Chain A
Amino acid sequence: MKAYNEAWIYNRTIIDQAERWYRKRMLSDKQIAAVRKAYPVDFRQTNAFIEIGLFLFTTVAILGSYLLPASFFSMLLNNQTVYGVFNIAFGIVVGIVGHQLINKRSLYRNGIDNAFVVTLAGFLAFGFNQLLPNGLSISAHCLLTLPLLLTVLWYYGDTLIAFFTLATFYTFVFDGLLPFSWGRGALPFVMMAVSGLLYFLARNPNLLWSKSPIRDAYYADPQNLVQWITLLVLAASGNYFVVRELNGLLLKPSPTHAPEIDLPFLFWALTFAIPITYLWQGLQKKDRMLLILGVLGLIAGVMTFHEYFALVPLNMALTIGGLTLIGLAVLGIRFFREPKNGFTDVPDDDSPDEFFVNTEALTAIQATANTHHNTNDEVRFGGGSFGGAGSEGKY
């Protein structure tokens, strides 16, 4: 028994795929109608922007409802145990109300239910941690909270909860290793191993439980998120810059310049080897996630190299880097004009065009303003009129 109607979620995946074929004229009008009839989905529809608003205002209402009794019982709540129990009780109430709403209004990721799930998990985790004895380490708190978060994740299959669960888990590993004398040195390797294992499991969930298309559909989004994050952490844990600077930060007292780390050659190799592996695998498996992370990882690798062995000053590095990227993109667009080796430049359903156009506009403004702001303060042009102190611009 899960929070949402599993059959509907399953049906929704089928309809989504069928509609893709329908748009390509591979299914007839009659067939798509038959698909919609055979696989009913009764979830309420929304729109991304309305969802944001719903999430926001639901959270406002829930927090108001929390503060109301909290201020009423404020005297009692000075006791840590009572406060913990109060939080848990409130979390349970949030859960019950959310459950009613989800069922009555056929909600599924409409913003309202997301707000209920996140606040529910938050209050439960907060209350639970107050009941724990004082003096526990952060890693112990994280470890003890994990079963709770995993239960919520299992029940709701919520993407945000998946993120918090993963963050809690990584905090547990990170903080748990530091007290050991060998912990700091082993940290990158442990993080890489743990991430690799998690990625492998998220990729092949059938190793943990038997295959079930309904369950796959229910957890598709959290599963996807876990893959992104674990790959990201895996690449970051092998990156020379991250390892060296983090190592420097963890030293006590903190030095101004992070000292050289052990096995620098290994980490230099990993800085480039991991993204290249992603890219190579991404090209072989035609996996968008691996391709994107591979390219980003390589860019990060070049930036890491620039950080320690600056062959050219920053302005040159940016110019050369920009030219290189433009060149690569132009080559790619020319090369893939006609489909080659199973790749093409022609957009398909998966390309988020409209979203990209809007982001482009946003970053263009940002870049415009940047050009204006690049000047130093003593540089006269620009200073007052459009440097932020708008009052001087009387023209």
Chain B
Amino acid sequence: MSPADVLNELEKQGILLTGQQDKISDYEQKRPFSLHWELRSLLYVGILLLSSGLGLLVYDNFDQIGHGALLTAMAIACTACFLFAWRFRPEWTVAQAKNRSPYGDYALLLACLLFLTLEGYAQYQYTIFGTRYGLVTLLPALLFLPLAYRFDHRGVLSMALAALISWVGVTVRPLELYFKTNFFDRETVFSAIALALVLIGVSFGLERQRIKPHFAYTYLTIAGNLLLIALLGGLFNFEELHLWFALGLAGACIILDQYARRTKSFVFLLMSAVYGYIGVTYLFFHYISPQNWDDGLYYWYFILTGIALVAYLMSQIPKRSNA
């Protein structure tokens, strides 16, 4: 349905004032077409291509091009990006701030990605960190975290959190989260849980202090997923600690659920429902799997829990805004 059709409809209903139809249709015809999103996507894809291209370039050619030349060129590019971002940095404020140049955020992102390549190169070539590999991931985390706050950049914040998580020993990439994490190791599970709890605590604390409260979403999506996956990993792998992991999972789900309802961020509601369901189902089949049950009763479990969760989610639907 074109805007003109809608206008005719409203006119027929007698809702529009005289002359208003012409005014609106004039606006619709003259309204420029926004390429904002398309151009930003192009810029973003370009940055990702460039940084991965340069990364590959370094690893493929480090012995042909002079180390010094390559390193210098990239350091200059990285510094240039950073200086550009710094020049147009937003005013420091604890509220949400906007970069003063349309490219500032992207320059910062590119600077950070280049820094990672540089750091890797320096470690490979000169082993500046020796064998303390932990430092290699801790350094970006320590650098990116303040940058994210100073520049109000959620992308850099996510990178900092990802580096922090790598440092603790769990590689978390959103798309490989489920395939590559190593949750058979008790130490990994506990350090992941500890880190997630610290991050969630920090995020709640900062939100309460109204320091960059819009960062809470990023913190909670990353740390919340990490926590819930670690808890599930613990639940699946360490039978002797079932009770603790089950309690932890229940607690985490309840807190996320409450938070979702308070802030109306329903992604957390979904997270708590799905992870919680997986945990409960696992426990159900692990403990309440009586030998004398026939298959039918298992299916009843799925039918009844499915219906219960549907009813629960339905009851959480936000109230209609336009009535």
Which of A's residues lie within 8 Å of B, judged by CB?
A: 13-15, 17-19, 21, 24, 26, 31, 34-36, 38, 44-50, 52-54, 56-65, 67-68, 71-72, 105, 112, 213, 216-217, 220, 286, 288, 291-292, 295, 313-330, 332-333, 336, 339, 342-348, 350-353, 356-357, 360-372, 374-376, 379-395
Contact = CB atoms under 8 A, between A and B. Distances in A.
Contacts of A330: 43, 103
10 contacts: A26-B20, A49-B270, A60-B305, A61-B303, A67-B299, A67-B302, A318-B52, A374-B52, A381-B120, A390-B170
B288 interface: no
A107 B1 CA distance: 22
Given A295-B42, A347-B36, A348-B36, A57 B306 contact: yes
B287 interface: no
Ranked 6 nearest A-B pairs via Cβ: A395-B134, A61-B306, A322-B50, A318-B53, A325-B46, A64-B302
Interface of B: 1, 3, 5-6, 9-10, 13, 15-16, 20, 23-24, 27, 31-57, 59-61, 102-103, 109, 113, 116-117, 120, 123-124, 127, 132-138, 140, 154-159, 161-163, 166-176, 180-182, 185, 187-188, 218, 222, 266-267, 269-270, 273-274, 277, 295-296, 299-303, 305-307, 309-310, 313-314, 316-323
B76 to A, nearest CB: 15
A386 B166 contact: yes
Contacts of A370: 52, 55
Nearest to A10: B1
A376 B60 CA distance: 10
Most buried by A among B52, B180, B185, B318: B52
Nearest to A43: B320
Contacts of B154: 357, 360-361
A315 B74 CA distance: 15
B182 A389 contact: yes
Given A18-B6, A53-B273, A365-B174, A35 B15 contact: yes
A344 B34 contact: yes
A387 B99 CA distance: 34
A365 B37 contact: no
Contacts of B56: 314-315, 318, 374
B53 A322 contact: yes
Contacts of A44: 317
B309 A57 contact: yes
Contacts of A347: 34, 36-37
A386 B274 contact: no
B123 A381 contact: yes
Nearest to A214: B1
B168 A393 contact: yes
Contacts of A59: 306
Contacts of A350: 34, 37
Given A54-B314, A325-B45, A346 B270 contact: no
A18 B158 CA distance: 38
B310 A324 contact: no
A293 B127 CA distance: 45
B172 A365 contact: yes
A317 B36 CA distance: 26
A13 B6 CA distance: 8
Contacts of B299: 64-65, 67-68, 71
Contacts of B109: 364
A348 B116 CA distance: 35
Nearest to A366: B173
A348 B171 contact: no
A372 B176 CA distance: 14
Nearest to A28: B17
A391 B187 contact: yes
Contacts of A362: 158, 174
Contacts of A387: 171
A172 to B, nearest CB: 32
A31 B23 CA distance: 15
B53 A316 contact: yes
B300 A64 contact: yes
B135 A71 contact: no
A14 B267 contact: no
B248 to A, nearest CB: 20
B260 to A, nearest CB: 9
Contacts of A220: 1
A367 B113 contact: yes
Contacts of A36: 322-323
A50 B181 CA distance: 27
Nearest to B28: A21
A321 B1 contact: no
A50 B176 CA distance: 24
A390 B182 contact: yes
Contacts of B307: 61
Contact of B51 (A54, A322, A324, A360): A322
